[in-house]
Structure 1
């Protein structure tokens, strides 16, 4: 099995919602077996950023990521973030 990195970045309609989005994402950190790393960051004043929130996670395999995506809790988080997001960018790659 080859680990896969899952990176998602959001620009929010209201940047002040970033802590709320972070809390929602952090609630997904242990949803399924095979999550090796799960880090959520929010834009830091004074540092360069094109987005307000980033998720950098590593799964032990593409199968582990595939089991995370449809998880009911994750889907609920996705629906809430979708309402707050102006844009979303994602990159998955083997590491």
Structure 2
């Protein structure tokens, strides 16, 4: 099984919305992918509790049965739609994929 973890630091405002609004949009759209992309075993998105010591605003925590399933997810058109939006509203991104 592959654990796919992505974290983003969002812009204070982008696409006409605040950081908090964009975080909610991203959370909803990513979690909705679990109903659309069959290769996703589990997907959850957490919005960071605001504090002065935090480095990232949002985390994607997802699981796939194989790297092939993760790759299928990453090229899926619905994933690409939300990835395009995230690209417009983020400042930074970090990702780790590891086998469990």
Query: Is the structural similarity TM-score above 0.5?
Result: yes
Higher helix share: 2
1:83 aligns with 2:88: yes
Where structure 2 has 5 or more consecutive residues not aligned to the other structure, the ranges are 13-18
What is the TM-score normalised by the length of structure 1? 0.87
Deviation digits for residues 53-90 of structure 1 (CA, Å, limit 9, x no counterpart)? 10010101111111101000100110011000000100
**Cα RMSD between the aligned structures?**
1.7
How far apart are the structure 2 equivalents of 1:71 and 1:8? 17
What is the TM-score normalised by the length of structure 2? 0.83
How far apart are the structure 1 equivalents of 2:9 and 2:64? 24
How many residues are aligned here? Answer: 93
Q: Is the 8 A contact 1:31 1:68 kept in 2?
A: no
Q: Equivalent residue for 1:10?
A: 8
Where structure 1 has 5 or more consecutive residues not aligned to the other structure, the ranges are none
